[in-house]
Amino acid sequence: MSRSLPLLALLFVVVYLLPASGHAASAPKQVKGQILIRPKSPFTLEKDSASGKYKINGFSKATEILGNLPVKSAYQKHGIIALNLDPSATSSALIQFKNDPGIQVAQPNYIYNIASFPNDPYFSPSISTNPLYYFQWNLVRINLPRAWDMIPSRGSRSVRVAVIDTGVAFEDYLDGTNQYRQAPELTQVAFSDPASFLSYDCDTGNPLPQQEVTNHPNDMEGHGTHITAIISQNTDNSVHSAGIAPNITVVPIRSLSCPGGTGSTLDIISGMMYAMEKGARVINLSFGGEEYDLLLRQAVQVVTAGNVVVVAPTGNWGEIYTEVPLACPACFPETIAVGASRWDNARASYSQFHPYTRQDPVFGDINGRGVDLIAPGGQVLDDNWNILDANFDRMPDGILQQTIIKGNPTEFTYVTDLELGRYCLTSDGSELSEICGLKIGTSIASPHVTGVIALMLSADPDLTPDQIKSILTQTAEKFSIPAYNTLEHGSGILDAAAALGSIIPDTSPTDSQCIPGDANCNGKVDGQDYLIWVGNYGQNLTGREFGDFNNNGIVNGQDYLIWVGNYGL
């Protein structure tokens, strides 16, 4: 189903999509006047009190280069030296350090951009007048209800997931300027070890003398809170929507602190090292950039070697730049690269998928790195810029979670008039409203994978990053994807139940235990099952849970006849 979308609503959607993979023209690509260098062996950085010049002990040539540069300040973090220079000197300095055999990496400090059955109303099938859980169609598409049957605890507090993003609405806090509130739908989430990292001035783009570190990673953008809600929002509390793994522990880290959701290489690396130090087993990086970042790749290698899984989005420029390869850090083979799917499991038109190739003699060549798998990221417009509402729930087919209203960290999205739907439009229908918390993007697809990994680790904490990646790709579902191919869709769409089923037995009802026509297998054939059938009508989907009661791979009139024949049983 499609409806015309007002112009301002279109603009909202486009603006949300653009920053996701590093092509946004207005965003700076690097911190002004700052370069990062990593010596090949351990070092200490010292400043001579008399001359004010810096030296790197054990590295004579690098110290000589430093002595001839207009260094304003310098500091070291995670084996990296951050040099703050006059901007006119950065190009020359980079060339000199790259030619120093004692320096492993010399590069700019790049800027990255955000990439966008419980009884919860947006998910519960209990109201017969509307299949409300289709507002959260994404959780059905990844087979989450059956996965929850396998792990009724829906996670373990011992499993820590780090969300490195724009921050999270995790606390009530007044910083002297801004008042922050904890999101009502995150009050049951176990938060631990919050941290924020910022190495440059958001207004000028100039480097700070030292990186600012706090334990208040509050959110002004709404992106990081939405990501966290997908992973672990309050669930089965009769309010708003559900999260995938509500009983895990979240480590909220803000490395994208500047307006629009931007952050630097150094801040991201700091967040990753901190997450590993605090025991995170999964790191969600819902952002991307076009630059190949050696230091960031090395950080990914360090944390994966430390038994941490890194999940990243492929990027949102697949429609505008048709040949653009995967964004980084998804371009690194050590990550799990996640593309976005629509309501019908097809690739979302914006989702980047072209393979990434790079010669890298330091950390290893990348030869045709492609999508690992896809997960729901949503798509609200078709090729003619009409609203996509394929499941007739009177809501654009995006991803719904609670988050803050952008720029106002004391106001939150909430359940709108469910009966009316309103397509999440403002009352006068002039623009897409933030009120329902609907977002789209590969950055929104990634936390679906992160949440399922958290469930997997809750079931088996001994799983390694390589094992987790192998399970996810081997169990990904292909047959429900229209025109499936490995280039666009990787191994297929995330299947939470199949992934969990490879670890623990699936004790959920089998089709043979369900009455024909009983789509939700609740022991009766009724209107809820009809709504499931009609919501999927015409789709190439296989399985009783989609309304395909004869398992022939398409939801059609034959299935309706099965339902109507058994209605009331």
Q: Which residues contact 431 (CB under 8 A, 6 or more apart)?
A: 6, 8, 9, 11, 12, 425
Q: Which tokens is 166 given?
A: 């724009």
Indicate the SS3 state at residue 223. helix
Q: Are 216 and 204 in contact (CB under 8 A)?
A: no
Instruction: Give the integer Cα–Cα distance in Å for 251 and 163.
Output: 6
DSSP codes, 147-203? HHHH-TT-S-TT-EEEEEES----S-EE-SS-EE---GGGTTSEE---EEEEEE-TT
At 470, give phi and psi (nearest 5°): -65, -45
Picking from 496, 507, 492, 493, the residue whose alpha carbon sits closest to that of residue 468 is 496
Longest dimension (CA), the chain: 92
- Locate 92 and state its tokens: 């020359």
Q: List the catalytic residues.
A: 165, 223, 443
- Which candidate, 387, 388, 376, 381, places its Cα nearest to that of 345? 376
Backbone angles phi, psi at 292, to 5 degrees: -85, 110
557 CB-near residues (< 8 Å, 6+ apart): none
Query: What 3-state class would DSSP assign to 41?
Result: coil
For residues 137-169, b (16+ Cβ closer than 10 Å) or e, as one string?
bbbbbbbbbbbbebbeebbbeebbbbbbbbbbb
SS (H, E, C) 415-479: CCCCCCCHHHECCCCCCECCCCCEECCHHHHHHHHHHHHHHHHHHCCCCCHHHHHHHHHHHCECC
